[in-house]
């Protein structure tokens, strides 16, 4: 159920001037660090301090996976493996026939799967013998596969596609049959990853956002947005940190969205009520309010709408445009961390096709 992961979020943009042309991110729980593909290099970002350092001479242009004490990384359609401790290169394996190898996932033991953006091939790579990896194409799909994730519970792969009205497709690992698990109105989907509760996060460029789907893909997704998200690429959800990392290929920044249970639910909805009932009690809300770095705005649309959501000061002067343009039906969340708001009272205004809703934001010192 999506309700089981509705939680408070913390988002922070880590301004890293050393980042350039980033595409993919992967978490290393052994050393509490994030690996970020950086054009022709890999940068390691400390999970506690945010300090950046090069991961030896390692190379990654696209997907990465940590598995069995190694970092596997795709660079220009070549799959390489690096020792997590020394950054020594342990393997270099070209993917035969690949034109643009992109997404990468693993079973956490010895199997990797990669997508080829240009030919539609899905590769299976057995690295149980790191000196002699076994590579095969298990299927060629009709779309343009991008991000991919392994769903061990259902013995399948899930991948997203580039293009308009992108579908989320499944590959049965017993039969290699391909099926669509969710048709969407999203365009240019880039990354997909799973949290500990079986929910899936998908990054898209059109609209620019993260969408969270329940594990059965039956309900409408919850939309997660935050200031600074720009062409979100190959995302990574760290189960160890309950944090979603979003590499913004449009501005070469890394956005972190952390998920934690609320500390005080006395003014929130009762746990266990249906999502629809909870949403109907408040179409537009800010919580917590007074505003802190953990505050978020939530609104629900029964149908696709053009709208603008803005923050103004008490005099009506525009401070921030949070979103403007067509928004899809469903629940939306916008995180407020990183915004510099004046102390006192600000106004949140939602305008849409003759509708004007206003809420007061209380900004503490």
Q: What is the pLDDT of residues 14-48, one digit of tens each?
A: 444 478 899 999 999 999 999 999 988 999 998 88
Residue 28 CB contacts under 8 Å (≥ 6 apart), including other chains: 34, 35, 44, 66, 71, 84
Average pLDDT, integer, range 224-253: 89
Q: What is the pLDDT of residues 104-119, one digit of tens each?
A: 999 999 999 999 999 9
- Do residue 48 and residue 168 come from a single domain? yes
Q: Within 10 A of 92 (CB to CB), how many other CB atoms are there?
A: 12
- 64-78, 247-261, 278-292: which range is least confident on average? 278-292
Do 253 and 242 meet the contact criterion of CB atoms below 8 Å apart?
no
Q: What is the pLDDT of residues 53-78, one digit of tens each?
A: 999 999 999 999 999 999 999 999 99
**Residue 33 half-sphere exposure, CB side, CA atoms within 13 Å?**
18
Q: What is the pLDDT of residue 161?
A: 97
Cα gap 118→114, rounded to integer Å: 12
Q: What is the pLDDT of residue 199?
A: 92
- Do residue 145 and residue 16 come from a single domain? yes
In a domain, 61, yes or no: yes
Q: What is the pLDDT of residue 130?
A: 96
- Do residue 105 and residue 170 come from a single domain? yes
Q: How are strands ordered across the β-sheet holding 318-327?
A: 318-327, 305-313, 344-352, 355-363
- Do residue 287 and residue 206 come from a single domain? no
Q: What is the pLDDT of residue 267?
A: 38
Q: Is the pLDDT of residue 277 over 90?
A: no
Cα gap 338→11, rounded to integer Å: 8
Q: Within 10 A of 293 (CB to CB), how many other CB atoms are there?
A: 12
Task: Find which of 39-43, 300-304, 325-329 is predicted with most confidence, using mean pLDDT.
Answer: 39-43
Average pLDDT, integer, range 138-146: 96
Cα gap 219→2, rounded to integer Å: 8
- Do residue 151 and residue 242 come from a single domain? yes
- Do residue 173 and residue 197 come from a single domain? yes
In a domain, 267, yes or no: no
Do 147 and 103 meet the contact criterion of CB atoms below 8 Å apart?
yes
Cα gap 127→150, rounded to integer Å: 16
Burial degree of 353 (CB within 10 A; 0-12, 13-18, 19+): exposed
- 8-12, 34-38, 74-78, 312-316: which range is least confident on average? 8-12
User: Where is pLDDT greater, at 294 or 254?
Assistant: 254
In a domain, 265, yes or no: no
Q: What is the pLDDT of residues 156-191, one digit of tens each?
A: 999 999 999 999 999 999 999 999 999 999 999 999
In a domain, 268, yes or no: no
In a domain, 266, yes or no: no
Average pLDDT, integer, range 267-290: 48
- Do residue 324 and residue 357 come from a single domain? yes
User: Where is pLDDT greater, at 257 or 37?
Assistant: 37
Copy the structure tokens of residue 326: 């067509």
In a domain, 269, yes or no: no
Mean pLDDT across the chain, nearest whole number? 85
- Do residue 344 and residue 201 come from a single domain? no
Structural domain that includes position 297: 275-363
Mark which of 199, 229, 260 sits at the end of a domain.
Answer: 260
User: Where is pLDDT greater, at 219 or 105?
Assistant: 105
Average pLDDT, integer, range 271-275: 31
Q: What is the pLDDT of residue 283?
A: 66
Cα gap 235→23, rounded to integer Å: 9
Q: What is the pLDDT of residue 93?
A: 97
Residue 152 in 3-state DSSP?
helix
Copy the structure tokens of residue 121: 């091939």
Q: What is the pLDDT of residue 260?
A: 57
Q: Is the pLDDT of residue 285 over 90?
A: no
- What is the residue whose two structure tokens read 């929130």? 268
- Do residue 179 and residue 62 come from a single domain? yes
Long-range (24+ apart) CB contacts under 8 A made by 159-163 are 159/103, 159/115, 159/122, 159/192, 160/189, 160/190, 160/191, 160/192, 160/202, 161/189, 162/117, 162/188, 162/189, 162/190, 163/187, 163/188
Burial degree of 35 (CB within 10 A; 0-12, 13-18, 19+): buried
276 DSSP 8-state letter: H
- Do residue 162 and residue 23 come from a single domain? yes
């Amino acid at each position: 159920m999506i309700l089981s992961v509705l939680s408070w979020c913390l988002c922070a943009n880590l301004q890293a001037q050393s980042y350039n042309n980033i595409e993919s991110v992967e978490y290393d729980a052994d050393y509490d660090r994030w690996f970020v593909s950086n054009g022709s290099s890999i940068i390691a970002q400390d999970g506690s301090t945010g300090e950046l350092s090069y991961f030896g001479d390692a190379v990654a242009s696209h997907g990465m996976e940590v598995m069995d004490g190694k970092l596997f990384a795709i660079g220009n359609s070549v799959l390489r493996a690096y020792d997590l401790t020394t950054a020594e290169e342990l393997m270099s394996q070209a993917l035969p026939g690949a034109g643009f190898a992109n997404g990468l996932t693993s079973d956490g033991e010895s199997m990797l799967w990669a997508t080829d953006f240009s030919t539609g091939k899905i590769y299976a790579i057995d690295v149980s013998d790191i000196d002699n990896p076994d590579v095969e194409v298990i299927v060629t799909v009709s779309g343009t596969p991008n991000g991919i994730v392994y769903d061990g519970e259902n013995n399948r792969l899930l991948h997203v596609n580039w293009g308009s009205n992108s579908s989320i497709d499944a590959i049965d690992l017993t039969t290699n049959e391909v099926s669509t698990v969710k048709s969407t109105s999203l365009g240019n989907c880039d990354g997909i990853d799973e949290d500990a509760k079986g929910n899936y996060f998908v990054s898209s460029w059109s609209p620019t956002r993260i969408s969270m789907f329940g594990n059965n893909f039956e309900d409408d997704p919850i939309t997660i947005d935050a200031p600074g998200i720009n062409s979100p690429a190959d995302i990574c959800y760290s189960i160890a940190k309950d944090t979603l990392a979003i590499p913004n290929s449009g501005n070469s920044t890394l956005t972190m969205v952390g998920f934690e249970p609320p500390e005080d639910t006395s003014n929130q909805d009762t746990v266990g009520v249906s999502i629809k009932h909870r949403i109907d009690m408040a179409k537009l809300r800010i919580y917590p309010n007074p505003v802190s770095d953990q505050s978020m705005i939530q609104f629900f649309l029964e149908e696709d709408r053009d709208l603008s959501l803005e923050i103004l000061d008490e005099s009506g002067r525009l401070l921030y445009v949070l979103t403007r343009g067509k928004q899809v039906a469903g629940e939306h969340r916008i995180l407020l961390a990183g915004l510099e708001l004046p102390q006192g009272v600000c106004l949140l205004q939602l305008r849409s096709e003759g509708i004007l809703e206003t809420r007061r934001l209380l900004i503490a010192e």
